[in-house]
């Protein structure tokens, strides 16, 4: 286990998101943003197992997953700014981040929208005879979607190499988990015959360990597995959410078990020096400052680009109209 690596990834996500929040509030980032603050240990712990040849699907709250698999913060920030240099050339945005070079098959604006894609990626890998696992992230809101139920069945039936990762932050937008689900997650997953583990999402090493155990079967051809991580988002559903559905005390309790700061303390207690951690933090701050500067300096896309790229070859609905 690369402890400093885990800390670096969590720190990068936390500080990326804090910058995004400020930049969004100052009007520099258009659209909607859903921050991953509080859930860093999930992306960092699970995706520390991510290898070249693996794939992942993510959610509307997808910045953390993208950063954890190594999507370039500069290109990501430029995408959030809507610039031509963005990872999707400004056509995707926060909720639609793709980076095939990193196996990133998309954040997704549709709850559970990535799940069938992950199942299919698993099928594709199996049929093509390629090694690799697929990581399908989704939140507790996805438990209400039929495709998740269908997807578990199909992945189990066909023994596909998919790790389903439920990030249970206890709220589907504003609706509490307890108010929207009649079943127990563990019972439901086991009914499909999948190995299941549950772990507290504020302990990155525990997330890492449980993931590793489940992945052995997934990578070993035994079919899919399911990890439920109990986590908290410290921020609202979106930046600007008035959060009338939960109390300040509840958020304060969660923040008291901050996965990033808590892990920092643990590393110090394990004998890592303050200077070592400071060095990592300074390196990450520089990287993120550069990402913001890159995004701000990047050009807007040419408006004509909006009309291009729907198909592999250019198609014009009315070919006689100006090129």
Partner 1 sequence: MREITFAEATREAMEEEMARDPRVFLMGEDIAKQGGIFGQFKGLPERFGRERVRDTPISEPTLVGAALGAALVGARPVLDIHFADFLLLAMDELANQAASLRYMSGGRLKAPLVIRAPDGAIRSAGAHHSKSLEALFLHLPGFKVVAPATPKDAKGLLKSAIRSEDPVLFLEHKALYPRKGPVPEGEVLTPLGRAEVVREGRDLTLVSYSLTLHKALEAAERLEAEGISAEVVDLKTLYPLDWETLLASAEKTGRVVVAHESWRFLGPGAEIAATLQERLWGKLKAPVARVGAAHTPIPFSPPLERRVIPQGEDILKAAKEVVSWR
The site that binds partner 1 (CB under 8 A) totals a number of residues, namely 52
Within 10 Å of residue 316's Cβ, how many Cβ atoms?
A: 10
Residue count (the chain): 323
Query: Does 117 help bind partner 1 (rule: CB under 8 A)?
Result: yes
Distances (CA, A) of 55 to 36, 93, 215: 20, 20, 13
Closest distance to partner 1 from the beta carbon of 218 (Å): 16
CB 159 within 8 A of CB 123: no
Query: Does 70 help bind partner 1 (rule: CB under 8 A)?
Result: no
State how far the Cα of 123 lies from the Cα of 154, in Å rounded to an integer. 10
Closest distance to partner 1 from the beta carbon of 127 (Å): 6
Nearer to partner 1, 271 or 322 (CB): 322
Query: Does 251 help bind partner 1 (rule: CB under 8 A)?
Result: no
Distances (CA, A) of 63 to 9, 37, 68: 12, 10, 9
Of the candidate spans 33-41, 115-123, 237-245, 250-258, the one that interacts with partner 1 by CB under 8 A turns out to be: 115-123
Closest distance to partner 1 from the beta carbon of 224 (Å): 13
First vs last Cα of the chain: how many Å apart? 55
Question: Which element (helix H / strand E) includes 264?
Answer: helix 259-269
**Which residues in the 120-149 window bind partner 1 by CB under 8 A?**
120-125, 127-128, 130, 134, 146-147
Nearer to partner 1, 150 or 209 (CB): 150
Structure tokens at 244: 């009338």
Q: Are strands 162-168 and 171-172 parallel, antiparallel or unpaired?
A: unpaired
Residue selected from 70, 116, 144, 262 as contacting partner 1 according to rule CB under 8 A: 116
Structure tokens at 211: 């993931």
Query: Does 161 help bind partner 1 (rule: CB under 8 A)?
Result: no
Structure tokens at 281: 């933090």
Closest distance to partner 1 from the beta carbon of 287 (Å): 22
Of the candidate spans 97-105, 182-190, 232-240, 250-258, the one that interacts with partner 1 by CB under 8 A turns out to be: 97-105
Q: Which residue has the tokens 């303390």?
A: 265
Residue selected from 89, 170, 181, 257 as contacting partner 1 according to rule CB under 8 A: 89
CB 46 within 8 A of CB 39: no
Closest distance to partner 1 from the beta carbon of 115 (Å): 7
Phi, psi of 161, deg, nearest 5: -80, 70
Closest distance to partner 1 from the beta carbon of 28 (Å): 20
**Which residues in the 276-295 window bind partner 1 by CB under 8 A?**
none
What DSSP state is assigned to residue 140? Answer: G
Query: Does 178 help bind partner 1 (rule: CB under 8 A)?
Result: no
Q: Are strands 171-172 and 175-176 parallel, antiparallel or unpaired?
A: antiparallel
Q: Interface residues with partner 1 (CB under 8 A)?
A: 55, 57, 86-92, 96, 98-100, 105-106, 108-110, 113, 115-125, 127-128, 130, 134, 146-147, 150-151, 153-154, 157-158, 309-312, 315-320
């Amino acid at each position: 286990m690369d402890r400093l690596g885990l800390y670096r990834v969590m720190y990068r996500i936390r500080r990326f998101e804090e910058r995004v929040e400020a930049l969004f509030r100052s009007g520099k980032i258009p659209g909607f943003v859903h921050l991953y603050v509080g859930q860093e240990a999930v992306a960092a712990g699970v995706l520390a197992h991510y290898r070249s040849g693996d794939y992942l699907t993510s959610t509307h709250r997808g910045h953390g997953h993208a950063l954890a698999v190594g999507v370039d913060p500069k290109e990501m920030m430029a995408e959030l700014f809507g610039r031509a240099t963005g990872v999707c050339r400004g056509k995707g945005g926060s909720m639609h981040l793709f980076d095939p070079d990193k196996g990133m098959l998309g954040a997704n604006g549709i709850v559970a929208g990535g799940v069938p894609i992950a199942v299919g990626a698993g099928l594709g890998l199996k049929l093509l005879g390629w090694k690799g696992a697929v990581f399908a992230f989704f939140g507790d809101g996805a438990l209400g979607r039929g495709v998740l139920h269908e997807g578990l069945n199909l992945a189990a039936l066909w023994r596909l190499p998919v790790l389903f990762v439920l990030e249970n932050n206890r709220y589907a937008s504003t609706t509490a988990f307890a108010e929207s689900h009649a079943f127990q997650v563990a019972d439901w997953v086991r009914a499909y015959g999948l190995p299941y583990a549950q772990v507290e999402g504020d302990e990155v090493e525990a997330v890492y360990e449980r993931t590793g155990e489940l992945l052995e079967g997934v990578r070993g051809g035994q079919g899919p597995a399911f990890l439920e991580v109990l986590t908290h988002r410290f921020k609202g559903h979106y930046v600007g959410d008035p959060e009338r559905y939960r109390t300040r005390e509840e958020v304060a309790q969660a923040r008291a078990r901050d996965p990033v700061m808590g892990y920092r303390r643990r590393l110090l207690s394990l004998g890592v020096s303050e200077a070592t951690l400071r060095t990592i933090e300074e390196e990450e701050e520089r990287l993120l400052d550069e990402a913001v500067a890159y995004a701000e300096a990047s050009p807007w896309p040419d408006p004509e680009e909006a009309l291009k790229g729907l198909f592999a070859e250019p198609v014009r609905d009315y070919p006689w109209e100006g090129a």
